[in-house]
């Protein structure tokens, strides 16, 4: 970038921080309503973009109207009458030579009724809908015309904006016109350097904003509606860039602290690998090497490891923990639920204790004296590897010298929680390395945008001997056949899961449903040993039932979705999921991953309740067609959107004003390139983040 552009970068745009109350007519009441729309400044108002457009630039003959058409008609009143139906309404019949139409008003007054005199001409805008006597418009906008002269039409498309209670389209339109006048007078800085605009052939910012708020008559409405018009793409690119830069800023802040450089001596990792009853897959070895390389650097590792259910991420995590212990430092392994944390504790104990490594266990259920003992062992450094839940975040947990943090199922934690762990490094001055793992495959578009602060590794290979799970979709009207299938599988020495999904949002009702299901299955299958696990049971009870199931002392485990992650019973070869239409695809994929962990053919039965919605059918079809977690994740993103797929990690972050991660996915490689070019211009980066994230630049403050 040239020095002129660097100078330009340092200016502050006048409109940026101007409160919206500076605009004529905006008092306290209106200010509060605008705040509900996320509008606090004049710039926010300018970036409050239309949802769609209406064409009021031409008159359409009544005879050509179809239901759903939103148009302007120029017609003469034939008759107007008040009609007593289920609701009292004013009906006005109009005609224009090509056909007739009814205007219907439920809210009207005498003056309005009297103004609709036969023979009067009016210009009317509304949506044509089917009515009892042909097409009609309900509460159209209208204007009585005084003469036979030409009607004055709009000279551009009319924007339709997102609203909040107490706001009208007319009010928002007039405020935005004022804001645009302010922008033309005071200036709104184009933060993207001129060289970059020219290189990517992007229109200027103010040109783009004027176009979007007031598109000309000949604007391509299809492109505008799809969000693919060049002026929309220009703004989407700037917004995606701001989000990317904010995540890069976090990365820089974390890495500024420095981290311990951990040599890979192999002193512990070699005997660990030799003792494993299996060989690592090529994918595991590749990712383990990437992690080991990161740990040897004096900057904190920030690496996301994605691997489908059963791909062997835990072994990679164990190798990272061992590299810390080889260097005399501690490692922490954190999981979102006690059941998953416990699973990790069991695995790590079996693997690491024979190597002489001392472990600590910290979860909500560890209380009193036992808790004090664990805390003291962590504080003194006696505990070399600490496994736990979010209890590890608590202030009283102090590490002697924390070198590596492993976080499982990252999307269950807020980004703040993960970053708060950097304070657990030595005296809060040296950041521990972070290894983040997820069994929920993340579509590439989300990895490139929502996880831009992390390097990414993928374990894209399952261990040998795993057989793909066959998925069957069946209506719950055939429940008896499904129960018979469970009986046959268990009589052949196999085990089965019966999963009861969420009823509304109530954990109590969910647990109750699981209890009822367990009772009815015990009655239907008296010869089987049936266990029950749900979220309201005490952790010790849950652990005992899971241990009995793992030891094959139970044939059938009835459970809520608490078994979604971390449960490994190779002998379980059948899973029934009731009402799968209530769950997201990623969650269904996670659940299905509990079977197919041995060498025998496994089945997952999705037992839905008819009728299924179109989206429900699509989702279950995807589950039946593929076991590829990434394909499932892409479909999940397409059907549910990024907020749902990401979970809590990016709450508030993925609320884009104009960008859409699926539609604009092709821009993401460009964004990475542009971000690299802007690295030398910190003030410009700050201004971009402020423009698009405002005070929501939540990550810069961690």
Distances from the Cα of 548 to the Cαs of 541, 555, 590, 618, in angstroms?
Answer: 11, 10, 22, 37
Residue 153 tokens, joined: 């039409």
H or E element that contains 474: strand 470-475
Q: Where are the alpha helices (DSSP H) in 575-641?
A: 585-592, 614-625, 629-640
CA-based Rg of the chain, rounded to a whole angstrom?
A: 31
Q: CA 463, CA 465: separation in Å to the nearest integer? A: 6
What percentage of the chain carries pLDDT values higher than 90? 47
Domain with residue 107: its CATH number is 2.40.50.140
Residues 241 and 384 in one domain: yes
Residues 314 and 445 in one domain: yes
Domain around 105: 58-153
Q: What is the pLDDT of residue 651?
A: 40
Cβ atoms < 10 Å from Cβ of 198: 9
Give the confidence band of 632 by pLDDT, cuts at 50, 70, 90. Answer: confident
Mean pLDDT of 351-359: 96
Residues 523 and 577 in one domain: yes
Q: CA 383, CA 209: separation in Å to the nearest integer? A: 59
Q: CA 620, CA 471: separation in Å to the nearest integer? A: 9
Q: What is the pLDDT of residue 410?
A: 59
Q: What is the pLDDT of residue 264?
A: 93
Contact partners, residue 663, CB within 8 Å, separation at least 6: 226, 227, 228
Residues 459 and 530 in one domain: no
Q: Within a domain: residue 448? A: yes
Residues 220 and 256 in one domain: no
Residues 335 and 423 in one domain: yes
pTM of the full structure: 0.71
User: Which of 185-194, 237-246, 461-470, 680-689 has the lowest average pLDDT?
Assistant: 461-470
Q: What is the pLDDT of residue 127?
A: 94
Q: What is the pLDDT of residue 1?
A: 40
Residues 406 and 351 in one domain: yes
Judged against a pLDDT cut of 50, whether residue 16 lies above it is answered with yes
Q: What is the pLDDT of residue 630?
A: 78
Give the confidence band of 64 by pLDDT, cuts at 50, 70, 90. Answer: very high
Which position has the token pair 């923990």? 321
Q: What is the DSSP string of 312-374?
A: -HHHHHHHHHHHHHHTT-EEEEE-SSHHHHHHHHHHHHHHHGGGT--EEEE-TT--HHHHHHH
Q: CA 556, CA 38: separation in Å to the nearest integer? A: 51
Judged against a pLDDT cut of 50, whether residue 648 lies above it is answered with no
Q: Which of 101, 126, 153 is the last residue of a domain?
A: 153
Average pLDDT, rounded, for the chain: 85
Judged against a pLDDT cut of 90, whether residue 12 lies above it is answered with no
Judged against a pLDDT cut of 70, whether residue 266 lies above it is answered with yes
Q: What is the pLDDT of residue 698?
A: 42
Three-state SS string over 140-155 comes to CEEEEECCCCCCCCCC
How many residues comprise the chain? 702
Residues 74 and 45 in one domain: no
Give the residue, 307 or 694, on which the prediction is more confident. Answer: 307
Q: What confidence tens digit (pLDDT) does each residue in 21-49 have?
A: 989 989 899 999 998 888 989 999 999 99
Q: What is the pLDDT of residue 426?
A: 67
Q: What confidence tens digit (pLDDT) does each residue in 545-597 have?
A: 888 998 999 999 998 877 755 567 889 999 999 989 888 887 888 889 888 87
How far does Cα 328 stand from its chain's mean position?
39
Q: Which of 191, 226, 261 is the last residue of a domain?
A: 226
Q: What confidence tens digit (pLDDT) does each residue in 152-194 have?
A: 788 899 999 999 888 889 899 999 999 999 999 988 889 988 8
Q: What confidence tens digit (pLDDT) does each residue in 684-699 have?
A: 888 898 888 875 444 4
Q: CA 408, CA 320: separation in Å to the nearest integer? A: 13
């Amino acid at each position: 970038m040239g020095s002129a552009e660097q100078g330009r970068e340092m200016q502050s745009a006048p409109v940026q921080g101007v409160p919206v109350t500076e605009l004529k007519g905006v008092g306290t009441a209106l200010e509060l309503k605008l705040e509900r729309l996320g509008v606090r400044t004049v710039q926010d108002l300018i970036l409050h973009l239309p949802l769609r457009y209406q064409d009021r630039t031409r008159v359409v003959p009544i005879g050509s109207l179809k239901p759903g058409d939103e148009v302007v008609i120029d017609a003469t009143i034939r008759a107007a009458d008040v009609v007593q139906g289920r609701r009292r309404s004013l009906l006005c019949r109009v005609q224009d030579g090509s056909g007739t139409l009814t205007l219907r008003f439920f809210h009207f007054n005498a003056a309005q009724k009297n103004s609709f005199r036969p023979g009067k001409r009016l210009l009317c805008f509304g949506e044509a809908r089917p009515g009892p006597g042909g097409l009609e418009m309900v509460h159209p906008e209208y204007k009585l015309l005084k003469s036979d002269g030409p009607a004055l039409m709009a000279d551009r498309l009319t924007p339709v904006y997102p609203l909040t209670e107490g706001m009208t389209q007319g009010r928002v339109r007039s405020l935005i016109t004022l804001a645009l006048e302010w922008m033309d007078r005071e200036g709104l800085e184009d933060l993207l350097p001129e060289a970059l605009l020219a290189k990517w052939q992007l229109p200027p910012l103010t040109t783009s904003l004027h176009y979007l708020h007031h598109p000309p008559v000949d604007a391509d409405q299809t492109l505008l509606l799809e969000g693919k018009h060049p002026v929309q793409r220009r703004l989407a690119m700037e917004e995606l860039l701001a989000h990317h830069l904010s995540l890069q800023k976090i990365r820089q802040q974390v890495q500024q602290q420095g981290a311990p450089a951990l040599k890979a001596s192999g002193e512990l990792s070699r005997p660990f690998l030799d003792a494993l009853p299996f060989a690592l897959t090529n994918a595991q070895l590749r990712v383990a090497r990437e992690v080991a390389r990161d740990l040897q650097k004096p900057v904190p590792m920030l690496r996301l490891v994605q691997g489908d259910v059963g791909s062997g991420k835990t072994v990679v995590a164990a190798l990272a923990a061992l590299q810390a212990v080889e260097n005399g430092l501690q490692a922490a392994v954190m999981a979102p639920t006690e059941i998953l944390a416990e699973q990790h504790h069991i695995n790590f104990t079996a693997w690491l204790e024979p190597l002489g490594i001392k472990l600590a266990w910290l979860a909500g259920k560890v209380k009193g004296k036992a808790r004090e003992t664990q805390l003291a062992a962590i504080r003194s450094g006696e505990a070399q590897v600490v496994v736990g839940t979010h209890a590890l975040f608590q202030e009283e947990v102090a590490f002697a010298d924390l070198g590596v943090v492993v976080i499982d199922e990252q999307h269950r934690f807020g980004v703040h929680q993960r970053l708060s762990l950097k304070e657990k490094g030595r005296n809060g001055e040296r950041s521990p390395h972070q290894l983040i793992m997820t069994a929920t495959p993340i579509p590439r578009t989300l990895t490139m945008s929502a996880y831009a602060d992390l390097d990414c590794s993928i374990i894209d290979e399952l261990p040998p001997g795993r057989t793909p799970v066959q998925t069957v979709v069946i209506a719950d009207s055939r429940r008896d056949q499904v129960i018979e299938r469970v009986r046959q599988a268990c009589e052949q020495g196999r085990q089965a899961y019966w999963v009861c999904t969420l009823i509304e949002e109530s954990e109590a009702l969910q647990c109750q449903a699981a209890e009822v299901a367990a009772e009815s299955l015990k009655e239907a299958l008296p010869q089987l040993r049936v266990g029950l696990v749900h979220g309201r049971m005490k952790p010790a009870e849950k652990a005992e039932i899971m241990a009995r199931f793992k030891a094959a002392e139970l044939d059938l485990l009835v459970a809520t979705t608490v078994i979604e992650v971390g449960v490994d019973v190779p002998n379980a070869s059948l899973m029934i999921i009731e009402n799968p239409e209530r769950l997201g695809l990623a969650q269904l994929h996670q659940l299905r991953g509990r079977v197919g962990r041995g060498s025998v053919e496994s089945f997952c039965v999705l037992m839905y309740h008819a009728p299924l919605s179109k989206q429900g059918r699509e989702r279950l079809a995807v589950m039946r067609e593929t076991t590829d977690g990434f394909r499932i994740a892409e479909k999940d993103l397409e059907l549910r959107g990024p907020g749902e797929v990401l979970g809590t990690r990016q709450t508030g972050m993925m609320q884009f004003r104009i960008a859409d991660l699926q539609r604009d996915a092709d821009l993401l490689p460009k964004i990475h390139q542009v971000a690299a070019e802007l690295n030398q211009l910190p003030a410009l980066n700050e201004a971009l983040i402020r423009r698009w994230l405002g005070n929501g630049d939540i990550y810069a403050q961690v």
